[in-house]
Structure 1
Amino acid sequence: MIRLVDLNKSYRTSQGLSPVLRDVNLTIGRGEKVGILGRNGAGKSTMIRILSGAENPTSGHIERKMSVSWPLAFGGAFQTSLTGLDNLRFVCRIYNVDAQEKIEFIEQFSELGRYFREPLRVYSSGMRARLAFALSMVIEFDCFLIDEVIAVGDARFHEKCHYELFEKRAERALVIVSHDAGYIREHCSKICVLSEGQLSVFDDVQEAYDFYHRSIHL
Structure 2
Amino acid sequence: MIELRNLTKSFRTSNGRKFLFRDVNACFPEGKNIGILGRNGAGKSTLLRIMGGIDYPDSGRVVTDQRISWPMGLSGGFQGSMTGRENAAFICGLHGIWGQSKRKVLDQVQEFAEIGNYFDSPVKSYSSGMRSRLAFGLSIAVEFDCYLVDEVMSVGDAHFKQKCREVIAEKRKSANFIIVAHSMSTLKENCEVGIFLGDTGLKVYENLEEAIELYLAGVSPAKAN
- Assess, with a 3 A threshold, how the Cα gap between structure 1 residues 173 and 28 changes in structure 2: closer, same or farther: farther
- Assess, with a 3 A threshold, how the Cα gap between structure 1 residues 159 and 180 changes in structure 2: closer, same or farther: closer
1:22 aligns with 2:25: no
Q: Matches of 1:120 and 1:194 in 2, distance apart?
A: 35
Question: Which one is further off, 51-60 or 83-92?
Answer: 51-60
Q: Matches of 1:162 and 1:210 in 2, distance apart?
A: 24
TM-score (norm 2): 0.88
Structure 1 residue corresponding to 2:167, chosen from 164, 167, 171: 164
Q: Matches of 2:182 and 2:9 in 1, distance apart?
A: 20
8 Å CA contact 1:3–1:28 kept in 2: the answer is yes
Aligned residue for 2:215, secondary structure, equals helix
Residue deviations 1:99-134 (CA, integer Å, cap 9, x gap): 323332222211111111110111000000000011
TM-score (norm 1): 0.91
Q: Matches of 1:188 and 1:139 in 2, distance apart?
A: 21
1:32 counterpart residue number: 32
8 Å CA contact 2:71–2:149 kept in 1: the answer is yes
1:4 counterpart residue number: 4
Aligned length: 217
Amino acid at match of 2:190: H
**Aligned runs of 1:85-100 on 2, under 5 Å?**
85-98=85-98, 99-100=102-103
Aligned residue for 2:153, secondary structure, equals coil
**Percent same amino acid at aligned positions?**
42
1:134 counterpart residue number: 137
2:197 counterpart residue number: 194
**Aligned runs of 1:69-218 on 2, under 5 Å?**
69-98=69-98, 99-196=102-199, 198-216=201-219
1:51 aligns with 2:51: yes
CA positional deviation for 1:167? 1.6
CA positional deviation for 1:149? 4.6
Amino acid at match of 1:86: E
Aligned residue for 1:170, secondary structure, equals coil
